[in-house]
Amino acid sequence: MEKLQWGILSTGWIADQGARAIQLLKEDIVIAVGSRSQESADAFGDKWNIPKRHGSYDALVNDPDVDVVYIGTPHPFHKDCALLALNAGKPVLLEKPFTLNARQAEEVIRLAREKKLFLMEAMWSRFVPGNVKLLELVNAGVIGDVQMMFVNLTLNQPYNPESRLYNLTMGGGALLDLGVYTVSYASYILGEPSSIQSHGVKAPSSVDEQNGMLLSYDKHGAIALLASAMRLPAPSEATLIGRKGSIRIHAPFYCPNVLTIDLPNRDSERIEIPFEGTGYNYQFAHVHECLQNNKTESPVMPLDETLQIMRTLDTVRAHWGLNYPNE
C-alpha cells in the first residue's frame, strides 16, 4: 500500500492526538501542518517533527504534497475548513461534531459528493477493537434483540466562562462535545430513532451543562437513555440489554478494553480486548484503507448517518431553545 501524506489543519489538543495517532501507522506520515499563525505552525511542527509548516489554512490545503487533510479546529470552523479543503481537491477527515448543525453538514456533504472526494466524520470510537467486537456480538444475537441501551458520558470540569467548553459562540456545552458520542453510539447499535425526547440544564454562560435524552426506535421497540454532563464525576459507561441478556461496556465506553456479558443462569463472561496506541490510530488506518480502495465514503461511518446524527442533535437543541450565535 502506498504511503499517505497527511496534512493537519489546526494545532490544538485534538490535533495533537491526530499527530500522535498517525505517527503510530507504519504506512502514513504527517507531511504538513497548517495554522492561522506561522508561530503556532512552527511550534507544532517542532513538537511532532513535521517538515512542512504553513501559516494559513489555505496554504496547507493547497500544498501539493498533502494527500489528505485532517481537520481538528473548534466546532464553529468545521464547515468552512472542510469546504476549503474539498475545494482544493483534498479528501477530508473532519472532527466531530461534524458541523454546528445539519444544514452545514448537508452543505459539506453535497460538495464532497459533487467532487467525488472522500469525506468522513472522525468518530474514532467506532474503530477501536472493543467497539468493533461489541457490534459483532450484537449482530450475532448473543443477547438477542437490543431492547434498552444506557449511555453516560461525563467530564468533571469546573465552570469557567473563559473556557471553550462553556463558550456559546464556540459551540460549547455538553451536547456537541459529549452528547455527540452518546447519540452516535446509539446510532451505531440501533440506527435512526423514530422519536426524541430530551431535557437540558444550562450553565450561566447559556451552554448546556448537562442533558438527558430518551430515544425510541420502531425496530424491536427499543429505547436508548443517553446522558452527558460537564461537571459530574462519574464513569462513562454503557449497557445494552436484550431479550437474552446484557452487555456492559466498561469505562470508557468510547474506547473500552473490557466487555462483560451476562446471560441468565450463567456466570458472567469478561472479555478483554486490548488496543494499540491511544485508540485514535484506528480511524486513521480506516481512512487509509478507504482511500487505497478508492472509496469516497466510509462503510463504518457513512455520511448519511453523520447527517442523521446532526439532525438528532438539532432536534434536541430545539427542545431547549438553544442556538449558537454563528450558525
Q: How confident is the model at residue 220 (pLDDT cuts 50, 70, 90)?
A: confident
Q: What amino acid occupies position 170?
A: M
Residue with cell 434483540: 145
* Helix residue ranges per DSSP H, the chain: 13-22, 38-48, 57-61, 78-87, 102-115, 129-139, 174, 180-190, 281-292, 303-320
Q: How confident is the model at residue 326 (pLDDT cuts 50, 70, 90)?
A: confident
253 within domain boundaries: yes
Residue 50 and residue 242: Cα distance in Å, rounded?
48
Identify the burial level of 263 via C-beta atoms within 10 angstroms of its C-beta, where 0-12 means exposed, 13-18 middle and 19 or more buried: middle
Task: Answer for the pair 162, 200: CB distance below 8 angstroms, yes or no.
Answer: no
Regarding whether 108 and 15 lie in a shared domain, the answer is: yes
Q: Minimal CA–CA distance to 145: which of 249, 258, 240?
A: 240
**228, three cell numbers:** 452527558
The tens digit of pLDDT for each residue in 126-138 reads 999 999 999 999 9
248 within domain boundaries: yes
Regarding whether 33 and 62 lie in a shared domain, the answer is: yes
Q: Minimal CA–CA distance to 84: which of 107, 53, 102, 52?
A: 107
Q: How many domains does the chain have?
A: 2
120 within domain boundaries: yes
CA 103, 107, 108: angle at the middle one, nearest 5?
120
Q: What is the pTM of this model?
A: 0.97
Regarding whether 197 and 85 lie in a shared domain, the answer is: no
**Taking 80 as the threshold, does the pLDDT of residue 219 lie above it?**
no
Task: Answer for the pair 161, 197: CB distance below 8 angstroms, yes or no.
Answer: no
> What's the CATH code of the domain at 55?
3.40.50.720
64 within domain boundaries: yes
Regarding whether 174 and 208 lie in a shared domain, the answer is: yes
Regarding whether 163 and 40 lie in a shared domain, the answer is: no
Regarding whether 215 and 111 lie in a shared domain, the answer is: no
The DSSP symbol for 173 reads S
325 within domain boundaries: no
304 within domain boundaries: no
**Taking 80 as the threshold, does the pLDDT of residue 306 lie above it?**
yes
Torsion of CA 155, 150, 187, 179, to 10 degrees: -20
Query: CA 21, 25, 28, 31 torsion: positive or negative?
Result: positive
Regarding whether 187 and 48 lie in a shared domain, the answer is: no
Regarding whether 45 and 141 lie in a shared domain, the answer is: no
The tens digit of pLDDT for each residue in 79-121 reads 999 999 999 999 999 999 999 999 999 999 999 999 999 999 9
Regarding whether 246 and 228 lie in a shared domain, the answer is: yes
302 within domain boundaries: no
> What's the CATH code of the domain at 174?
3.30.360.10
Regarding whether 186 and 113 lie in a shared domain, the answer is: no
Mean predicted lDDT score pLDDT of the chain: 97
Domain that holds residue 10: 4-125+280-296
Residue 22, pLDDT score = 97
Regarding whether 101 and 238 lie in a shared domain, the answer is: no
